[in-house]
Amino acid sequence: MQRLNGYPEKHYCMQKPIIWAFFCLIILFFPVCASAALTIGADPVNPSMGDRVHLRGTTSRNNTIAVYLMVTGPGLDPRGVTMENLNLPAGQGYFSSARVGPGGNWEYEWNTGYMVGTLHPGTYTVHVVSVPVNMLHLASQDTSGVNITFSPPDNPQPIPLSDLGVIGAILTGAILVVALNRERNRP
């Protein structure tokens, strides 16, 4: 029997499958260990449009400085949009972010009354991701989400200034027409 490295050839060949099996287990197990477990929660989960929504969560990835947030839902870009501007697709450098504290905790306050774009009544999903890429480029272990269902605001929305200008012009025109007709009809 031939010897390789001081061992009989038969013994050396038996080690190869064990080494390969061990190597395969490491490769299969590594992605699970390397991924960051992200969590997200919202308070309240059933707000009115215009309310503030407090988002918070955790990440298990060490030395993480920030997590990235985006929202998807009715009428929004399926890639996700930023929290402050619902017209701005997430990705390519555009993200909302939250600082991660030393314990892996993060918080973000979403003021839905002060942002660009319009929310409509319905269910939206806020996503937290560990890498700054949009929804189309994420692996399942890189994200977590929470559904938030918005109802119409309790108070009626104020009339936008542009509408007030139109209403003011119509009222002014009506007053002028009435005043001119009175002047013409005086004896």
Q: Which residue is associated with the tokens 């005043």?
A: 179
Query: pTM of the entire structure?
Result: 0.62
- pLDDT tens, N- to C-terminus, the chain (187 residues): 555 556 555 554 445 555 444 443 333 343 434 455 889 999 999 999 889 999 999 998 878 889 989 999 999 988 889 999 999 988 777 889 999 998 899 999 999 988 898 889 999 999 988 877 666 666 655 788 999 999 988 765 566 666 677 777 788 888 888 877 777 777 7
Q: Tell me the residue type at 121.
A: P
Q: CA of 118: how far to CAs of 49, 52, 141, 152, in Å?
A: 9, 15, 30, 12
* SS3 at position 24: helix
* Amino acid at position 154, single letter: D
Q: How far apart are CA 42 and CA 33, in angstroms?
A: 27
